């Protein structure tokens, strides 16, 4: 149904453009007061401190030596004599290095497969007239409302022969229903004229998806990809449930062993006489587990608001 406000949209946009060009605000937007701006700046500063302080404290502690830790009560924000001994010992042992490579591989392969399945399923469900489209959509939504428990999931993985394999860390969580619904809503928001024009040119569904839909959906795909990547990277419970070989553990399981369970590193196995302080080793593992996500997130964060809002709300 065509809205009665639609014909006035170009006039409204031209009016707003003239106001912006002249440095003026629309009449319905109040000019911010000094108090309001100061309160926003103070709130933002407090949030930044609350977010960055724990990370900087963990980083400083991982770089501190034994004497400095004892002098400051166990945690150091800015070490005066930083040392990378904790990182050297962890990477020299091979356990953390192998676990990091496992996590990177699972995250890259799992994210690629999850995006492939999510995009194809969402595209099929977004097209009108799809065979069995509504029943399949109801099944997808049903899995969102009634999630399987631990025991049924374990039995299915066991029957498929996936125990103690990397596939058990990917296949049970291959699809996220929330991401499918968001991507589907985004695909539905693409003008139908583009689909019709492509079909008149002789393009099939696969060509339409590859040449038209995907280039227009970079924002929502980036959001879904980041959600999947963070989920795969932070996952540790499935590894504890399905993995029997500790040599196949991802990094988060090693992090849990060192930080939560307090396991110690064998100095003789590493060929070193004196180990760094245990708190430095724990914080070093924590930093190693955080850095990859911190490096990727800034490049995709700008797509969050655009991808989620555009995919969830249609005008």
Alpha-carbon span 16 to 3, nearest angstrom: 20
Token pair, residue 157, equals 């993985």
Residues 118 and 50 in one domain: no
Alpha-carbon span 196 to 199, nearest angstrom: 5
Give the model's pLDDT for residue 208: 87
Alpha-carbon span 265 to 275, nearest angstrom: 8
Alpha-carbon span 310 to 308, nearest angstrom: 6
Give the model's pLDDT for residue 310: 54
Whether 244 maps to a domain, the answer reads yes
Residues 68 and 198 in one domain: no
Q: CA-CA distances (angstroms) from residue 10 to 15, 27, 203, 301, 313?
A: 9, 18, 32, 31, 21
Residues 55 and 114 in one domain: no
Residues 41 and 141 in one domain: no
Contact 197, 267 (CB under 8 A): no
Whether 8 maps to a domain, the answer reads no
* Domain CATH code at residue 232: 1.10.3720.10
Residues 71 and 100 in one domain: no
Whether 17 maps to a domain, the answer reads no
Residues 50 and 191 in one domain: no
Give the model's pLDDT for residue 79: 86
Token pair, residue 274, equals 């004196």
Whether 57 maps to a domain, the answer reads yes
Residues 137 and 275 in one domain: yes
Residues 122 and 66 in one domain: no
Alpha-carbon span 275 to 83, nearest angstrom: 13
Whether 15 maps to a domain, the answer reads no
Nearest to 244 by CA among 148, 157, 151, 171: 157
Residues 297 and 155 in one domain: yes
Contact 303, 280 (CB under 8 A): no
Alpha-carbon span 115 to 184, nearest angstrom: 13
Alpha-carbon span 269 to 247, nearest angstrom: 16
Over the chain (315 residues), the average pLDDT of each successive run of 10 is 46 60 58 79 92 90 84 82 84 82 93 94 85 82 82 90 90 90 87 84 84 86 88 89 87 82 59 72 86 78 60 47
Residues 166 and 108 in one domain: yes
Give the model's pLDDT for residue 196: 83
Whether 2 maps to a domain, the answer reads no
Measured from the Cβ of residue 289, the count of other Cβ atoms closer than 10 Å reads 22
Give the model's pLDDT for residue 2: 41
Contact 276, 68 (CB under 8 A): no
Residues 231 and 151 in one domain: yes
For 43, the domain range is 34-83
**Which DSSP state fits 257?**
I
Please tell me the total count of domains within the chain: 2
Give the model's pLDDT for residue 47: 93
Q: CA-CA distances (angstroms) from residue 272 to 191, 264, 268, 275, 300?
A: 65, 14, 6, 7, 41
Residues 71 and 213 in one domain: no
Domain boundary among 83, 118, 149: 83
Give the model's pLDDT for residue 105: 93
């Amino acid at each position: 149904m065509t809205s009665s406000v639609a014909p006035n949209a170009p006039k409204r946009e031209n009016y707003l453009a003239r106001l912006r060009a002249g440095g003026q605000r629309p009449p319905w937007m109040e000019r911010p007061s000094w108090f309001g701006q100061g309160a926003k700046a103070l709130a933002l500063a407090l949030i930044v401190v609350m977010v960055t302080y724990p990370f900087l404290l963990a980083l400083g502690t991982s770089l501190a030596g034994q004497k400095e830790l004892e002098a400051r009560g166990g945690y150091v924000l800015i070490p005066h004599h930083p040392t990378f001994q904790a990182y050297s010992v962890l990477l020299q042992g091979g356990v953390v290095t192998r676990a990091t490579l496992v996590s990177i591989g699972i995250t890259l392969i799992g994210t690629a497969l999850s995006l492939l399945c999510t995009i194809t399923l969402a595209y099929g469900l977004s097209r009108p007239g799809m065979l069995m489209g509504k029943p399949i959509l109801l099944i997808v939504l049903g899995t969102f409302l009634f999630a399987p428990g631990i025991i049924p999931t374990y039995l299915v993985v066991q029957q498929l022969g996936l125990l103690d394999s990397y596939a058990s860390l990917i296949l049970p969580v291959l699809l996220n229903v929330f991401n499918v619904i968001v991507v589907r809503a985004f695909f539905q928001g693409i003008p139908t004229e583009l689909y019709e024009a492509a079909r008149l040119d002789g393009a099939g569904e696969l060509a339409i998806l590859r040449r038209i839909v995907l280039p227009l959906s970079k924002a929502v795909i980036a959001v879904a990809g980041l959600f999947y990547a963070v989920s795969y990277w932070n996952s540790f419970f499935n590894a504890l449930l399905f993995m029997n070989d500790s040599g196949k553990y991802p990094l988060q399981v090693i992090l849990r062993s060192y930080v939560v369970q307090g396991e110690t590193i064998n100095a003789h196995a590493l060929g070193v006489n004196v180990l760094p302080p245990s708190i430095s080793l724990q914080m070093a593992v924590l930093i190693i587990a955080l850095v990859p996500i911190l490096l990727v997130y800034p490049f995709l964060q700008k797509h969050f608001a655009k991808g989620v809002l555009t995919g969830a709300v249609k005008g």
